[in-house]
Amino acid sequence: MLVTLTTDFGLSSRYVAQLKGVLYSRAPGVTVVDLSHEVPPQDIAAAARLLEAAAPYWPAGTVHLVVVDPGVGADRPIVVIEALGQRFVGPDNGLFGWLDGQTDSIRTLEPQEIQPAGDSHTFHGRDLMAPAAALLLTGTPVAELGPPHGCLTMLPQQDGPTAGDDRIEGRVVEVDRYGNLITNIGANLLEDAPRDERLRVTLGEHETFGLWRTYAENPPQTLVALVSSGGMVEMALVNGNAAEMLAAGVGDAVCLDWTARD
């Protein structure tokens, strides 16, 4: 019985302390794992990106409880989803749009199917979603938690990268703790591009040549481009912080261009 938590509550908040209490009370013996409680407040897209990156590595049967819920108490429904052999519980506000086309079942949580943990209008994570997750963990099938749900809410479409014959333009979508700049340019777009010094990667006034396999092939403080562990083009400063050195961040344009092979 494995349940992960992804919220914007702050790790040390009373909200997390209460949520976990409900889970341990209602699903004795459960293993609760924090994915993140440091999602930027109300940043649904950030939570969705984290889940999308992590879920493929988790075992079948895992329940993912996701509470980034600026619309709590309004009419946004809570959904219970079966997908990837796993289960997902949270508000249908875009958090789960990335699962579109991969779901086996989507249900609208029906509060009378569960025993709420409280009657607040501002903390459905504790009062409705955690009890629903606990029911899933203790054997209740998804289908018993409510009626079939329509389409999942999608997040506003982000501009994808644009690819030409000898260039691709994208942007930085994430900066990790090392200051690595991860772009929205998938390595699969580079099939026709050279990976050696004929490939130029540009961010503002900064440029680097070639796609390296790993950080350690170049001396410290070299600006390099490589393919991230998630399969995206990434700019990094060897043993340093590229985001600081380049004064770059999320949203900045990154351009790849190359001379065609002979």
**Backbone angle region of 159, left / alpha / beta, with phi > 0 → left and psi within -120 to 50 → alpha:** beta
- Of the residues 3, 62, 129, 132, which one makes contact with a copy of itself according to CB under 8 A: 62
- Where are the extended beta strands (E) located within 23-152? 31-36, 63-67, 78-83, 86-91, 103-108
Among 14, 160, 162, 259, binds a copy of itself (CB under 8 A): 14
Q: Does residue 102 bind a copy of itself (CB under 8 A)?
A: no
Told to check if 13 binds a copy of itself by CB under 8 A, we report yes
Closest CA relative to residue 135, chosen from 78, 52, 59:
78
**If binding is defined by CB under 8 A, does position 8 make contact with a copy of itself?**
yes
Pick one of 3, 44, 45, 58: the residue that binds a copy of itself (CB under 8 A): 58
Q: Which is nearer to a copy of itself, 56 or 251 (CB)?
A: 56
Residue closer to a copy of itself by CB (options 50, 163) is 50
Binding mask 229-258 for a copy of itself (x = CB under 8 A): xx--------x-x-----------------
Question: Dihedrals φ, ψ of 183, to 5°?
Answer: -100, 175
Q: Which helix (H) or strand (E) holds 220?
A: none
Cβ atoms of residues 258 and 190 within 8 Å: no
In whole angstroms, how close is the CB of 44 to a copy of itself at the nearest point?
Answer: 11
Amino acid at 181: L
Please name which of 222, 237, 233 lies closest in space to residue 255, comparing C-alpha atoms: 233
Which listed range, 22-30, 77-85, 99-107, 145-153, lies at the site for a copy of itself (CB under 8 A)? 22-30
By CB under 8 A, residue 28 contacts a copy of itself: yes
Of the candidate spans 97-105, 120-128, 152-160, 188-196, the one that interacts with a copy of itself by CB under 8 A turns out to be: 120-128
Buried b (16+ CB within 10 A) or exposed e, 128-149: bbbbbbbbbbeeeebeebbeeb
Residues sharing a CB contact under 8 Å with residue 200, sequence separation 6 or more, in sequence order = 207, 208, 209, 256, 257, 258
Residue 125 C-beta: closest distance to a copy of itself, Å: 9
209/255 Cα distance (integer angstroms): 12
Which residues of the chain form contacts with a copy of itself (CB under 8 A)? 2, 4, 8-15, 17-18, 20-22, 24-25, 28, 31-39, 41-42, 49-50, 53-59, 62, 70-74, 76, 117-118, 120-123, 126-127, 176-179, 213-217, 226-230, 239, 241
